[in-house]
Amino acid sequence: MSGQSIYQHGCAVRDHTFQIIYHLRFQKELTQDWKLPEWLVTHRQLILKNLMDDSIIREYTTYHDCGKPYCQIIDQEGKNHFPNHAEVSAQIWLAAGGCPVAAKLMGMDMMVHTMKAADIDQFILHPEACTLLIVGLAEVHANAKMFGGIDSTSFKIKWNQINKRGKIILEKLSMMGANHVID
């Protein structure tokens, strides 16, 4: 990350994630540096019922990119790439003795950012779907400074993607009803 270590990025994503969770749980107001989608309010209870345990979310978000140093490639133009970094992070986290559930989330981390509309029906079958969606929204906000702030074109593109996917995901989960709630 530009000007930020992998650990610092993980802490920023973790902190943004819990700001959203506390907002949902306690209707705690967020700063002006947030752009919250309508579906966050509309499907508040569904999201809360389907979030993974706080300790799992904390571990997952803090260390979700731990595998990046192990898969880094620098191209001819000097740009960094991290192919398959989510799966590599999951493997590294397990090898380090991390929680298997957090590692599973790490391996699925990029799904919400990269899925196409055709992938949504499969994505919602995962009990981790709401957690991944909320963390994805938090990550877009945690990275906003790198994009040039929440008014930048880059942020808006990433936000619009997660907003569209989130709306469809939560509408479909809502139609599935209580059968999807995590035990």
As a whole number, mean pLDDT of residues 51-78 equals 93
The mean pLDDT of 122-141, rounded to a whole number, is: 96
C-alpha angle 53-93-103 in degrees, rounded to nearest 5: 40
Q: What is the pLDDT of residues 80-100, one digit of tens each?
A: 888 789 999 999 999 999 999
Q: Any idea what the Cα angle at residue 164 is, between residues 65 and 145, rounded to 5°?
A: 45
Nearest to 61 by CA among 3, 132, 125, 5: 132
Residue 143 pLDDT more than 80?
yes
pLDDT computed for residue 180 by the predictor:
53
How long, in residues, is the chain?
A: 183
User: Over 60: is that where the pLDDT of 112 sits?
Assistant: yes
Neighbours of 73 (CB within 10 A): 9
- Whether the CB-CB separation of 39 and 167 falls below 8 Å is answered with yes
Q: Which residue has the higher pLDDT, 29 or 93?
A: 93
